[in-house]
A and B are shown apart, each in its own frame.
Chain A
């Protein structure tokens, strides 16, 4: 007998099924990183591995409504520190869909040419994804690609001063009441004696002074020394 696990749709394209997250595959029958593909009600879904994606882990861990963590399908979003595109691909599934049927726009910035190689390949099969080779801190060089403020912004840059970079990105590109997500890697901050908890506490204080902190999601277990902060711009 097949196990019956509770299936909870988060959006039209994202499913929570027990401890798994699935997104409708926008590039049918192709797995981006060897993740499993599976049919739900006749539609092919890709498994969103929470061990590889901090956003995926956040969806499972959040105590609030998971829809809060995702942008509206068909909107323009900004992603700083895109990496090799694991999270990006699922976000694209949700935001743009197959052949960009929702009309979304996902601007993904990363500094490393090696990462951009994978992203550019991804973008060829996924219209709506705009990879940018540039420094996430140098808004002047690629900011023109975001002509109006976005409602959703994600940052995962893993370098010292992450919170400051995030706040300046929020100031420049996030609209009022827009949602910003910051994935904070404690080990990337300058070494201090207090340990990770102190780093997170300092980040919370810094964030709260400028934006409304909605949730602090501890990712221990999926990604150690990491936390996901969900904020709303005042």
Chain B
């Protein structure tokens, strides 16, 4: 026996499709009333009509309209005005769902991280252009030591001659035209602003990652944790990945080239960023990456299921393991 229900009606049906009892609410619903009903159904709760029938037929199995198991029967139809209200309520519900999706920290973290990636690329290109541009006019100035300060210094002066005396180099032999200088100055202002903007972005990523991924952040730092989470398309997905995948996350090109044409498999993807790997001798990096990836997997699972975050002690234990591996393989393997 089945308890069929829709958002405003319910019926008890036997296996042959005969209706034994039916409750239909023919009231004129407000859009909000209908919306609440629709929400109730989508969350798997029974509407009041079905609750009434459930009391009369406790053995009937509740089954929402559209379920596979229901037998064929004459389904009670909503009135035209109810149908209209349901449509309006569905639109409202959809809009609400869209608005609520902004609460998803995975999506927000992705925007932050991708924004910082894009800005960094842009910043480096623009900074390189700036150094070359100024170098054209001031050939005796060398910027190897203080590339990052060029933009800030140049944007604070009013003419190229001032900049030359600031750097204590020969003034330009060939001066830029007025409009050319203004363009150069604007360029420098933009580059120096980008530097500050990047710092702000990274701070935002750190804050977001430490809330969203406390354990992974404690283990490998918030920036790397955020990157892994975004690359895996979300925290719960990262938690579901085998640690072998976490290890090569970000090295897809090398990994699939390995699968396709048998080149050497990558030993590490994004996790190479971590000093435990990048600052270790070449021959232990793979071993450390393997161990670290398994620890990241555990941390990601703690985060995804919101368990007690990893303590500093846990992190120290992992660091001790890294040290142990480095010590055990302190000499490169003989070939």
| Chain A interface residues toward B at CB < 8 A | 105, 107, 113-114, 116-117, 119-120, 123-124, 130-134, 139-148, 168, 171-173
Judged by DSSP, the binding face of A is helix
B7, B44, B65: residue with the most chain A Cβ atoms closer than 10 Å = B65
A144 touching B6 in the complex, CB below 8 Å, given contacts A105-B87, A130-B87, A172-B68: yes
The answer to whether A140 touches B91 (Cβ under 8 A) is no
Closest to B100 in A: A113
Q: Of B41, B91, B95, which contacts A141 at CB under 8 A?
A: B41
**Smallest beta-carbon distance B8→chain A, Å:** 9
| CA–CA, A116 and B99, complex, Å | 10
The answer to whether A171 touches B38 (Cβ under 8 A) is no
| CA–CA, A98 and B90, complex, Å | 21
Number of A-B contacts (CB under 8 A): 80
The answer to whether B66 touches A148 (Cβ under 8 A) is no
| Chain B interface residues toward A at CB < 8 A | 6-7, 38, 41-42, 44, 64-68, 75, 77-78, 83, 86-87, 90-91, 93-95, 97-98, 101
Closest to A168 in B: B68
The answer to whether A140 touches B97 (Cβ under 8 A) is no
Across-interface contacts of B78 in A (CB, < 8 A)? 147
The answer to whether A144 touches B44 (Cβ under 8 A) is no
The answer to whether B98 touches A117 (Cβ under 8 A) is yes
Across-interface contacts of A143 in B (CB, < 8 A)? 64-67
| CA–CA, A123 and B93, complex, Å | 13
| CA–CA, A116 and B38, complex, Å | 17
| CA–CA, A123 and B6, complex, Å | 24
**Smallest beta-carbon distance A25→chain B, Å:** 21
The answer to whether A113 touches B98 (Cβ under 8 A) is yes
The answer to whether A144 touches B66 (Cβ under 8 A) is yes
A147 touching B87 in the complex, CB below 8 Å, given contacts A133-B97, A139-B66, A140-B67: no
